[in-house]
Amino acid sequence: MGAIIYLLILALLKDYGHGEPQEGIAVYVFLGLLTSGATQQCLDIDECNTDGVCGKRGICQNLIGSYWCECPAGFTNFGKNQNKCVELNCDQYETQPGQTLPGFDSFLSLLRNNCLVLNNSTLSGPTRPLPTGDVLLTLLVNTTDVLQLDLQSNGHRSSSEVTKLLKTIEISIRLIAPLLTENVTRIETNHTDVEILVRRDKTPPKGPVSLTNENTQLDTTWETVIGDYQNYQGFAFVVLLSYKNLDSLKDTTSRQNLQLMSSALTVSVSNSNTTNLPQLINLTFNHLQSSDVDPTCVYWSDENGPGVWSELGCTSVMSNSNQTVCSCSHLSTFALLKGIHQKKGTGQLSLVMWGGVFVALTCVVLSLITTLWCRFVSRKRRGGNRLKQDVQLHRK
């Protein structure tokens, strides 16, 4: 009833004013009616009195029974009016000269344009149509497909290009996920499988969360996904993206015989501080082929140099011939590698191996002793002769 009256007053004022609804006046008139005529009084809770309800820079506008956040330019709440305003960085979607990954230039410039729309669209609420996350996600998947096809036909790419690819995917997801409208979005193609879970609860969700696809399972908690509750922006997302054909994603710099035993996958969450998680995440990989080789859990590391598979912060907690479970203390792109560790041997085999090592070492030591002894003896003789010659020379 009250809402109808309010809307009527709003409509009336809109007719008399210059097109712009004068909400402030409507509110006063409405409140006046309420306090004078109504038998019951409803108290509007001013949500804007709660600290940081719109983020550090957002401006909170109180409405009857509601509120919305006005984000200054350079900030956005992705069109969700009651979410906190977060800072945008559209410059990270700038294409770089000399970039050679196919399809990436056009994809990045599209992201940048969408980012710029968000950057500007905030002062008076979402006036312009917002970019849709689903369309952008489809394009992201298409781009990674094209890239994997290219890798299959042209052999592998340099480590720095792989790093560039993974970085781009990470920053794309951070823009796309908040724009998705569904709770669960999944796209699967011949090369890529991506699933995104979004929650928009008022209070941060808690408890376990897992995502599964054909080749992998991710187990974590909403606490890990969100990180610091102070930074909760009104939504949380978790992404599992697996690349089915990145077998040639090798680091070209170091060890020989590195082969992926699983598909590679990127894990991304709304929390952006994920280099040292307080709680481990678990990844269950299905092996591409059943194998007795001990796989190594690795992630793509670009901290020191162009990029390598690194074991730091990831351990294998369970492994059989079909599956391996990795526990990791950070987020990134993960895979199983074979070729770092020795083959699993039976007890007897390793006994034989150690026997061989012992015999070989004994031989080395013996030959060393013999060589040294021979040198010692021969030097003593020659040294003695030389001394005599010297003495003879001096006498002359």
Closest distance of CB 221 from ligand NAG, Å: 5
Rounded to the nearest 10 degrees, the angle between the axes of helix 159-176 and helix 133-154 is 170
- Beta strands 216-221 and 208-212 are antiparallel
Where are the extended beta strands (E) located within 291-339?
296-301, 308-310, 314-319, 323-328, 333-338
Does residue 201 belong to the site contacting ligand NAG (CB under 6 A)?
Answer: yes
Pick the binder of ligand NAG from 199, 217, 329, 330 (CB under 6 A): 199
**Contact status, residue 282 vs residue 268, Cβ threshold 8 Å:** no
Task: Work out whether 193 is an interface residue with ligand NAG (CB under 6 A).
Answer: no
- Between the alpha carbon of residue 184 and those of residues 47, 72, 238, the distances in Å are 29, 30, 10
SS3 119: helix
Q: Confirm or reject binding of residue 220 to ligand NAG (CB under 6 A).
A: yes
Instruction: Tell me the window of 164-172, 271-279, 370-378, 382-390 that interacts with ligand NAG (CB under 6 A).
Output: 271-279
Binding marks (x or -) toward ligand NAG, 65..104, rule CB under 6 A? --------xx---------------xx-------------
Which residue's Cβ lies closest to ligand NAG?
A: 73
Residue selected from 7, 12, 38, 116 as contacting ligand NAG according to rule CB under 6 A: 116
Cβ-proximal residues to 256 (8 Å cutoff; 6+ apart), any chain: 339
Among 188, 219, 294, 302, binds ligand NAG (CB under 6 A): 219
Residue with tokens 């560039």: 164
Q: Give the CA distances from residue 201 to residues 66, 194, 206, 252, in Å, rounded to whole numbers and listed in that order.
A: 16, 23, 10, 44
183 makes contact with ligand NAG (CB under 6 A): yes
Name the one range near ligand NAG by CB under 6 A: 11-19, 22-30, 44-52, 274-282: 274-282
Binding site for ligand NAG (CB under 6 A): 73-74, 90-91, 116, 119-120, 142, 145-146, 183, 190, 199, 201, 219-221, 273, 276, 278, 280-282, 290, 317, 320-322, 327
